[in-house]
């Protein structure tokens, strides 16, 4: 029987922020996410109009890795978002970011990222290290800010009458991002960020709502 696969650990908020703030020259910190399943919706007119952050229907699945240092994005498109597609995206990253850089990937705590097939891929690619955000802490993943900018600046402003148009709009924004890359910069230390979050949580817990 094959050896039992050990579960991949969830990384602390402090460790993730610190890794994002202080990567070494031998490391690349990529924040990863997949989103934008496309619904079939009609908002006036005979043709479907497709826009915005949408979930739960088959269509355009976007895998994106945001380089926390350079501000560039590696993107890939798949109709589904299973472990199989995630493994293909890892291979894409491996091709696009050649050795000897050590890869630190920050991503959400999804079972898709932890299957035996993914464990085997990671064993064959030891320079890759996965760091999972704790539940409810997706705000520390910088790629979330990139997806928000994609929504605000590109998708909500357009009318997309087919899956192909929707995908092309996202591809154009990836190209624009890489032509003029701008990393998102934390303006405080990891301890200061977490202390601010703790104060906010304390305020809302005492608000009586």
For residue range 17-55, what is the model confidence (pLDDT) as tens digits? 666 666 666 667 778 876 654 443 333 333 333 333 333
Q: Which two tokens stand for residue 20?
A: 């994002």
Domain-located, residue 147:
yes
Q: pLDDT tens digit string along 60-93?
A: 788 999 998 899 999 998 878 889 999 999 999 9
**pLDDT at residue 157 tops 60:** yes
**pLDDT at residue 123 tops 60:** yes
Structurally, the chain folds into a number of domains equal to: 1
- Is pTM beyond 0.95 here? no
Nearest to 144 by CA among 90, 29, 60, 66: 66
Rounded percentage of the chain residues whose pLDDT exceeds 70: 69
Q: How confident is the model at residue 144 (pLDDT cuts 50, 70, 90)?
A: confident
Structural domain that includes position 88: 13-205
**pLDDT at residue 94 tops 60:** yes
- Give the residue with greater pLDDT, 24 vs 145: 145
Q: How far is CA 208 from the centre of its chain?
A: 34
Task: Return the pLDDT at 19.
Answer: 66
CA angle 18–11–23, rounded 5-degree value = 30
| CATH code for the domain in which residue 51 is found | 3.30.420.10
Domain-located, residue 4:
no
- CA distances in angstroms from 71 to 65, 118, 146, 179, 182, listed in the order given: 10, 26, 9, 10, 5
- Give the residue with greater pLDDT, 81 vs 16: 81
Task: Return the pLDDT at 9.
Answer: 54
Domain-located, residue 5:
no
Domain-located, residue 3:
no
* Cα torsion through 63, 57, 55, 141, rounded to 10: -20
CA distance 160 to 1: 50
- Give the residue with greater pLDDT, 13 vs 156: 156
Output the average pLDDT for the chain: 76
- CA distances in angstroms from 145 to 69, 141, 184, listed in the order given: 14, 8, 8
Domain-located, residue 8:
no
- Radius of gyration in angstroms for the set of CA atoms belonging to the chain, rounded to a whole number: 18
């Amino acid at each position: 029987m094959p050896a039992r696969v050990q579960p991949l650990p969830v990384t602390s908020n402090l460790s993730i922020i610190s890794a994002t703030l202080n990567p070494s020259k031998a490391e690349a910190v990529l924040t990863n996410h997949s989103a934008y399943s496309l619904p079939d919706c009609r908002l006036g007119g005979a043709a479907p109009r497709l826009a915005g952050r949408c979930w739960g229907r088959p269509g355009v699945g976007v895998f994106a890795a945001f380089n926390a240092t350079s501000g560039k994005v590696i993107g890939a498109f798949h109709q589904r978002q299973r472990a199989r597609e995630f493994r293909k995206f890892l291979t894409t990253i491996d091709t696009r970011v050649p050795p000897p850089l050590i890869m630190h990937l920050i991503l959400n705590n999804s079972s898709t990222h932890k299957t035996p097939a993914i464990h085997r891929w990671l064993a064959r690619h030891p320079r890759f290290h996965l760091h999972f955000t704790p539940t409810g802490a997706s705000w520390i993943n910088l790629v979330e800010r990139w997806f928000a900018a994609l929504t605000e600046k590109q998708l909500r402003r357009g009318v997309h009458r087919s899956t192909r148009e929707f995908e092309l709009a996202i591809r154009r924004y990836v190209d624009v991002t890489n032509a003029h890359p701008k990393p998102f910069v934390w303006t405080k230390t990891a301890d200061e960020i977490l202390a601010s979050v703790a104060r906010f949580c304390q305020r809302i817990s005492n608000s009586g709502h």
